Amino acid sequence: MSGRVELSSLSPNGQRQLHATLDQPQFFGEFGVIGEMPRTTAAIALEEASVWTIPGHEFLDFLLGQPPAARALLRALARQVRSSEAFVEDLLYLDLKGRVAKRLLQLVSPSLEELPEDGVLVPAIVTHADLASLCGGTRENVTRILSDFQKRGVIERDGRRYVLCNVAGLAKLAGL
């Protein structure tokens, strides 16, 4: 409902895998309920947050009784599947530098259809490890790429946050 919540899991080798940071009202935890599977993702409040919970069986009963809500959920799930497919395509066709550039742009403009002006501030503190997790790379390699982006004037630091100084340059690297 409010606040910032991080969704993450542990990889088979014990590393934290960041999936998303939610900072607008939206739902999560529906996959396990709908698929009758154990939950695999942890939700951690990054700041004071207000979260509404509902038991799984009540959620399923609600969906059965409210076809418009079920259709809205299916649309949201379809968007998540499309997003996952796009990430797999990025892993196949973009190098890590391109994936880092694309993820930085997605952090400020999720649709990527209308890119912001130069000078846009990434809205949340994103660590190198978080960015590596979101891009399918190692923290060390992402750190090298971010340093290169800073040297080239594509990004700069503003305290602990990033400023995208050359959005067109990032878009080119991201294959957009």
The C-alpha atoms of residue 173 and residue 176 are separated, in whole angstroms, by: 8
Are residue 16 and residue 62 in the same domain, yes or no? yes
Q: Which of 92, 118, 140 is the last residue of a domain?
A: 92
Please tell me the predicted confidence (pLDDT) of residue 77: 87
Tally of structural domains, the chain: 2
CATH number at residue 15: 2.60.120.10
CATH number at residue 115: 1.10.10.10
Q: What is the arithmetic mean of pLDDT over 125-138?
A: 82
Q: What is the arithmetic mean of pLDDT over 18-25?
A: 76
Domain that holds residue 29: 5-92
Are residue 86 and residue 121 in the same domain, yes or no? no
Within 10 angstroms of residue 54's Cβ, the number of other Cβ atoms is: 13
pTM: 0.68
Are residue 81 and residue 23 in the same domain, yes or no? yes
The predicted-structure confidence for 87-99, as pLDDT tens digits, reads as follows 888 877 889 999 9
Please tell me the predicted confidence (pLDDT) of residue 32: 80
Strand partners, 7: 20, 43
Closest CA to 117 of 107, 109, 128: 109
Whether the predicted pLDDT of 65 surpasses 80: yes
Q: Which of 70, 92, 114 is the last residue of a domain?
A: 92
Helices 96-108, 67-93: inter-axial angle, 10-degree rounding = 150
